[in-house]
Structure 1
């Protein structure tokens, strides 16, 4: 790797993202993707899901001058911005939505392999439909998380798909030759008969058009939540199912939905629009940072328990802290979580008195009252 690139990578940090053991700002996949990319000067580069800026700023340091970036997570955008300022490369790239305009005329795509095949499918459709006919798409990830299904997804959009040799437990899939006639198909919507709701999802949205069992358990318990509430927040809203249920059941309640995932926000807006619930405000926000302190009566939350492949509690704890900040004294946080996670103690510490409202063999619905 060129010395200029190494100098940039050495300066990168995760902040403001959470810190945990084995979580780094630059990983082996970042380095392999940059090493696999050829002749970066003069390329029209699209970077997708650069976690903290290694791919974007590495490409710039290697000589790329037209770099467009889409990061699903807001915290990734914030980390990239801070790292760009730290390395003197602010203004060297531009952000865009995950759509055909982002990929228009691109000659090189650098992407971290998503966990969901639908996320890769959406990327494949957009790149095949809008990129330069000579585009090279590089999708990198840890070997243990890559499957033959990823080759099949890329193969639906490109005529040539191959894989590099593994290095430091990472590998890159290489796709070339966009197939003619490929068109974007996201967001996709599916009717959930039990909920009487069309659930819409972009590829990277958690659970896609399915409604996970934890959310269903929380939905069943919600009629008892904060009966006098006038304001409510779906914190980490995903596809907007909880926000839709609240708004539909309580038309006099002002409902807001927030998520730091761009795919989640776009999906929630599509779900709510299909349900005729455009009055729900949907915001891309990290931990409800744009909402004022102490202004809400009710917060509902199905927090994540993964950061990438790592199972950690830090992401949930950040959401619990955010809920405590935006709730008024006496307001309620209704959360659902996997029984094996130690969330009850964190909820008592961060929010207030906590009890179980419902549970099954896998999940607990807890109610925490703001002190």
Structure 2
């Protein structure tokens, strides 16, 4: 074991914060997988390794700042979530470590000549495949991928995905309910399989085209809750500007633009994969000129009172944890951005009972439709 062995000796994981993401007692900024990945790579790093380390999926900065503490410099980082990017930047600033890394899109430049990739395993097999394809296509021939996750969230299919792109894939011993998969010897990757696409009959003149990149939540599928919401949007108030908040693969944004030819739509999501997917979906439906897509933490870039209509299918997870905090944050931002009398149309899993929160944060709320799983409501912004 070399001089850097152990979990980034002296690095204070407890000082890391999730801000600007939701912060509560049961949500944490690092986990046992971060520590195990850093311990694993510490045994392999050479004496100098500037520009050779890439970090993917770092939630709030533990991997990036921990790798810097081990001696890595010029670390390249990709975080799908803009809140993760901002949390990493804030944690780095507080730690005096703000100049050790650069943030990148998921593209060739991220992995060019990389020799070590630290990856927090994503929930989606498509997300894992897209990362693996980029590594096999662009990294150094002697690259080592260390992909860690919580054992309860790992599946044999993850190794099978990696085996499509690497000649050697091995699983390490579990520690504190985490495990690391090690992949080496990249194979010829072939053409990029992303974005993926599908078409859906939603009652318009032509099928709705959807596109998705690996980390796009739900892929290119039509989410069942969103499908339930779409036909009721014809009852929404007349508007010149609407917002698809948490746009995902762009279903709502593209549908609104197709159904209302005079409408301009802003689609917003914290996920880089969602933003790319929504742009691709809008173009595939011929409405790219009327759908502006932004990567944002909720609606922080939108002015107060600037929208007449907001549509939302809110998430109810923060990572792997079921948590209502992110939905409440979206409700509050929608209320701020709506003009007086503006409407928030939302579909939600009926058991979540959001109506009280909508009344509190937005305004008078009425049920529009309900089935055994989903509820559609409309909330009017108070004057």
**Shorter-chain TM band:** over 0.9
Cα offsets for 1:92-143 (capped at 9, x unmatched): 1011110122111110111111111100010011111111110010111110
Partner SS state of residue 340, structure 1: helix
1:320 aligns with 2:326: no
Specify every segment of 5 or more residues in structure 2 that has no aligned partner in the other structure, as ranges: none
Which residue matches 1:119?
A: 127
Partner of 1:242: 252
- Mapped to 2, the partners of 1:134 and 1:193 lie a distance apart of 47
Equivalent in 16, 24, 42 of residue 12 of structure 1: 16
* TM superposition shift of 1:274: 1.1
**Map of 2:374 onto structure 1:** 363
Q: Distance in 2 between matches of 1:360 and 1:149?
A: 34
Superposition deviation, residue 3 in structure 1: 7.6
Q: Distance in 1 between matches of 2:361 and 2:225?
A: 22
Change (3 A) 1:224 1:9: same
Deviation at 1:2, TM superposition (A): 4.9
Matches within 5 A, 1:137-148: 137-148=145-156
1:70 aligns with 2:74: no
Contact 1:338 1:362 in 2 (8 A): yes
Where does residue 287 of structure 2 map in the other structure? 277
- Whether the aligned pair in 2 keeps the contact of 1:157 and 1:182 (CA below 8 Å) is no
Partner of 1:23: 27
Measured in 2, the distance between the counterparts of 1:6 and 1:354 equals 52
**C-alpha distance in structure 1 between counterparts of 2:302 and 2:85, whole Å:** 20
How many Å separate the matches in 1 of 2:233 and 2:273?
Answer: 25
- Residue aligned with 2:352, SS: coil
2-structure distance, mates of 1:114, 1:255: 30
Shift of 1:39: 1.2
Contact preservation (8 Å) 2:7, 2:39: no
Matched, 1:100 2:108: yes
What is the correspondence of 1:145-184 to structure 2 with a 5 Å cutoff?
Answer: 145-184=153-192
Paired position in structure 1 for 2:303: 292
Moved more, 43-52 or 178-187: 178-187
Contact 2:8 2:38 in 1 (8 A): no
Measured after TM superposition, the shift of residue 26 of structure 1 is: 1.5
Give the whole-Å Cα distance in 2 for the aligned partners of 1:120 and 1:5: 30
Tell me the residue number matched to 1:257.
267
Shift, 1:282, TM fit: 0.3
Superposed CA RMSD: 1.3
CA distance in 2, matches of 1:254, 1:187: 25
Residue in 1 that maps onto 2:199: 191
Question: TM-score when scaled to structure 1?
Answer: 0.97
| TM-aligned CA deviation for residue 4 of structure 1 | 5.7
The answer (yes or no) to whether the contact 1:8–1:87 under 8 Å persists in 2 is no
Q: Which moved more, 1:32-41 or 1:164-173?
A: 32-41
Kept in 2: contact 1:323–1:351 (CA 8 A):
yes
**Which of 229, 236, 239 is 2:239 aligned to?**
229
What is the deviation of 1:13? 1.3
1:39 corresponds to 2:49: no
Q: 2:304, 2:266 → 1: CA distance?
A: 14
**Deviates most, 305-314 or 178-187:** 178-187
C-alpha deviation, 1:182, in angstroms: 3.5
Please say if residues 52 and 80 of structure 1, whose CA atoms lie closer than 8 Å, have aligned partners that are also in contact.
yes
Alignment partner for residue 220 of structure 2, among 199, 209, 216? 209
Task: Using structure 2 for the length normalisation, give the TM-score.
Answer: 0.94
Aligned: 1:350 with 2:369: no
